[in-house]
Chain A
Amino acid sequence: MPSRTGSHRPAGIGKSLSERGLLLLIVLVLLEGSVLPLGAASSPDISHKEDLDKHKVPEENYTKKAFPVLDLDYHHVHTPFEVSLWVLLASLMKLGFHLIPRLSGIVPESCLLITVGLLVGGLIKLAGEKVPPVLDSKLFFLCLLPPIILDAGYFLPIRPFMENLGTILMFAVVGTLWNAFFVGGLLYAVCQIQPANPSILHNIELLPCLLFGSIVSAVDPVAVLAVFEEIHINELLHILVFGESLLNDAVTVVLYHLFEEYSGAGTVSVLDCVLGVISFLVVSIGGVLVGAFYGILTAFTSRFTSHTRVIEPLFVFVYSYMAYLSAEMFHLSGIMALIACGAVMRPYVEANISHKSHTTIKYFLKMWSSVSETLIFIFLGVATVDGPHAWDWTFVTVTVILCLVSRVIGVIGLTYVINKFRIVKLTTKDQFIVAYGGLRGAIAFSLGFLLDENLFPMRKMFLTAIITVIFFTVFVQGMTIKPLVELLAVKKKQEAKRTINEEIHTQFLDHLLTGIEDICGHYGHHHWKDKLNRFNKKYVKKCLIAGERSREPQLIAFYHKMEFKQAIELVESGGGIKLPSAVPSTVSMQNIQPKKPPTAKPAERVLPQLPKGREEEIRKILRSNLQRTRMRLRSYNRHTLVADPFEDGFGDLLMKKQKMIELEKKIHDMNNYLTVPAAPPDSPTMCRARLASDPQAYSMKPTSDSVPTIHVDLASPQSPDSVNVMDEFKRASKKRDEEDQGLMMRPSTGLRHAGEADGGKEQQKLTRCLSDPGPSADEEEDEPFLP
């Protein structure tokens, strides 16, 4: 018998991990499901008991109760407790889906989450408790929606968005209007037929139908984001559908309020229509202006945060939220306000804040939007189980069919018109994806939920129909879009990072095309873009960006970013000798330097190859020094994340930079040894990026290709000895005439290297970025502002 169990065990263990995970999940779900109703149920008991105790005490105040060592007071914490439970449930579900290997590939997350919501709602109902009104419109619009929209707006790729703005607006405005009227009108017509059997449908009037049409026809950004994120289609299609879902909010708001207002009256006059159009303009442009105002305010505030780096992300979040709330206060489009706020503030804020704040903002936004999205879908499921339903076959099926049909017709018709104005035409495949990707989501449901029961007796039926449409689009379209994309071989997103050559030529092209337009004499959009850029550079950047970065040209900013990223990659790869790059190559700076004729100057020589043994020695020493440095963390208090002297001693650095420039000019003839790509000395970007927990672990980069000396002062514990570097620099320059450009090791002042190309470059990069774990590799927010 022991042998039998023994033989079973190895096979069991292999499967048991995933099974255990599943089991754990199911247990947790059941637990959540049971605690929530328990929570609701137990509170009255406890409060009752408290009342009893209160009554007892005045009468028998000499009877001492036993001191309560352990007491249960759920009522005290029940709201935050329940909120936390929901959030925990959402996050654990997300975790769980990715543990189950094949499921996440087939079924999009949104479907799974709705299913979980259904389950939880079902459990709660089975337990006999009242389902909490989770998808309360206030909760949804004020708490759950803003993080998602802010995340989308902050990381919106500006260039493709602006290039396709006309198309996006056409789809958003005209497309939504068409959908609303088509669905609403035809529904009314359908409801009016069948005169033989008078049914409840006959009572529905035109205006409620139109209202219903406008609610159900808006493409939902949450659903689109959730589904499109997983299918990785090319940028153009993504921005088209996504941009449409964001911008149609203004149309939806106006239509909704218009029809809601006049549903009571029963008729809409021409004046009302005109007012509606004006209202649309006010809502959309007003929303954008409010957002832009708050965006500029944020950018301006971030200019002064150099001493309080810790709360920088807070400004971004709070101002954006205020923008949303302000817009909602005036019934303007809150979504457009948030998008405008995020898009406007981003280039300036990113120029001002520290690298760590940038990472914080990125991760917090992603975290919040992810949790929000998960919660929304789960709540949709729960609300479905709960919600009062009034199922009517005709109404619901006609709605679903009409939604699909109107979407298809709308997209085809609009594309026909749009293609006349576009250079890059939209193909049939593109049109299909745009039409198929028009998903409805929780916004429609919340808007329906907001309807007043008295004014709209058909509210329950509307809600049922909305839920059906949502389920249909999310489940059917969401699940099938991925295989369809594969089947139709739609172009996928290109993962390649932007190279410096592309950046140079993009800028070059911009100027070239502007110049050609000027020669041709007409003011095309390049001309205006150029004007806007110059205005931005001259006035706006000076106001909103602190310090010297306001004058940093875009190309240089891009270059620094790239350098910085490479440096972090280097550190993360463990300080290997070769720069990790996509294409393993042995090309180094030496290969591209033009060889000077041998009779030029006596000082120039070909750099000798370091003998292998020496290299190893150097590497070992450096690595051990680095490790020692890493372990020596300085203590910090709660209010300064890293006492980074380089962010404080910035003025000094600038002075030194000036001195470096002068020195460089003096050593002008020594320009043969480009051992490192000669970046300017410690630009502000690099200073801000200095994340070493140990402030000494930095190196003053040589100004240009003339001085290959890199002072790597890892071991000395004094305060920033930039002055020493200056002296050594001077000393080095004097010595160079006599010495060989070889390795110089001087243990007394740390290590100094006049190293070979890669070695030199990596050392200085190594020392600069020691403690930062670094942003993840998918930095899509690389796009420069108004490129």
Chain B
Amino acid sequence: MGASQTRTVHKYQDLADKTGFSLEQIKNLYQRFQHLSGNEETISRDNLESIPALANNPIRKQIIAAFFDKRNQHQDEVGSCNEIGFEQFLMVMSHFRPPNAKTTEEEKEAMRKEKLRFLFNMHDTNNDGTITLVEYRKVVEELLSNSGDIGQEAAKAIADAAMLEVASTNVPHMGPEDFYAGITFEHFEQILEGLEMESRMHIRFLDVNTATMRCGKSQS
């Protein structure tokens, strides 16, 4: 009993070092993982799709796909898997950690790049290193998918205008025959500079377990 306890702590410590979460946060997330997977070792896409709150989200397909995207595991693999374990779940979640008081400037910069990379991977579905016009159109269409027909017509126009903007800011002088193939990661970073990703793209991970505090219903 003592051995297994230390082993759990040791395992979590590993994860804590790798992902940057605290032990408390990892415990909470593990409980959530168990709940989602139905107490199994891995979760599949169906498990995530069955979360009722996600039903209204226009980009839920992309979000779910991001969990199963091997590029977000930082192990230089590509492709996607069908099931993920707790460690992979944590790795994806670690992209949404906020910077804390002790984060240095370089760490903040690295964090920002990591978050932007996550976003870039979400858009660049065929992993060719650029977001092409077709891919960008798809992004905008998904964003406007809850808005019916009006959304669909405007989506093309908006995506085109956005692409044009990226091209004009990054490659100002193109001849009429040149072709701007797609948004590279550097251009992506550049256009989203104003948004300060490291302080925006985060959620609060709880240190206290709210599931036990809620009497009765523990599902979302």
Contacts and interface: CB of A to CB of B under 8 A. Distances in A.
A588 B144 contact: no
Interface string B110-145: 000000000100100000000011100001100110
B151 A559 contact: no
B81 interface: no
B11 interface: no
A522 B206 contact: yes
Contacts of B178: 591
Contacts, number: 200
A593 B173 CA distance: 16
A562 B161 CA distance: 10
Interface in A318-358: none
A64 interface: no
11 contacts: A425-B101, A494-B194, A500-B165, A501-B162, A508-B143, A511-B58, A513-B201, A518-B54, A548-B150, A585-B167, A677-B157
Given A534-B56, A584-B172, A591-B180, A502 B144 contact: no
B192 to A, nearest CB: 6
A171 B36 CA distance: 42
A594 B171 contact: no
Contacts of A514: 57
A101 interface: no
A511 B203 CA distance: 12
Given A520-B205, A559-B154, A585-B169, 7 more contacts: A508-B143, A516-B93, A518-B220, A519-B51, A522-B204, A553-B150, A680-B150
Interface of B: 29, 32, 35-36, 48, 51, 53-54, 56-60, 63, 67, 93, 96, 98-99, 101, 119, 122, 132-134, 139-140, 143-144, 146-151, 153-154, 156-158, 160-169, 171-176, 178-180, 191-192, 194-195, 199-206, 210-211, 219-220
Contacts of B171: 585, 587
Contact of B59 (A515, A526, A552): A515
Closest 6 pairs between A and B when the two form their complex, measured CB to CB: A585-B168, A518-B53, A585-B172, A553-B147, A515-B63, A521-B220
B199 A423 contact: yes
Interface centre among A591, A592, A593, A679 (most CB of B within 10 A): A592
Contacts of A592: 133, 160, 163-164, 167, 179-180
B160 A501 contact: no
A587 B177 CA distance: 10
Contacts of B54: 515, 518-519
Contact of A678 (B60, B157, B219): B157
Contacts of B164: 587-589, 592, 677
A496 interface: yes
Given A423-B99, A515-B57, A516-B203, A583 B161 contact: no
Contacts of B29: 520
A500 B166 CA distance: 10
B167 A504 contact: no
A556 B57 contact: no
A679 B63 contact: no
Contacts of A406: none
Contacts of B53: 518, 527
A511 B139 CA distance: 12
Interface string A518-542: 1111111011001000100000000
A595 interface: yes
A583 B63 contact: no
B200 A512 contact: no
Interface size class of A (residues with CB under 8 A): 35 or more
Given A519-B48, A521-B220, A556 B32 contact: no
Contacts of B32: 519-521
A267 interface: no
Interface of A: 419, 423-425, 494, 496, 499-502, 504-509, 511-524, 526-527, 530, 534, 548, 551-553, 555-556, 559, 562-563, 581, 583-595, 609, 661, 674, 677-680, 683, 703-705
A678 B168 CA distance: 18
Q: Which of A527, A677, A705 has the most CB of B within 10 A?
A: A677
A745 B41 CA distance: 71
Contacts of A705: 156
A583 B51 contact: no
A508 B160 contact: no
B210 to A, nearest CB: 6
Nearest to B96: A516
Nearest to B146: A553
A551 B147 contact: yes
Nearest to B62: A512
A243 B54 CA distance: 35
Contacts of A423: 98-99, 199, 202
A444 B150 CA distance: 52
A577 B143 CA distance: 33
Nearest to B59: A511
Contact of A591 (B179, B211, B219): B179
Given A513-B203, A678-B157, A504 B162 contact: yes
Contacts of A509: 119, 195, 200-201
Nearest to B201: A509
A513 B98 CA distance: 12
A587 B168 contact: yes
A505 B36 CA distance: 28
B158 A500 contact: yes
A679 B168 contact: no
A674 B157 CA distance: 10
A556 B162 CA distance: 12
A516 B99 contact: no
A679 B157 CA distance: 5
Contact of A517 (B119, B169, B172, B203): B203
Contacts of A595: 179
Contacts of A524: 203-204
B180 A586 contact: no
Contacts of A683: 154
A609 B57 contact: no
A518 B54 CA distance: 7
Contact of A587 (B98, B174, B195): B174
Nearest to B53: A518
A586 to B, nearest CB: 5
A581 B169 CA distance: 10
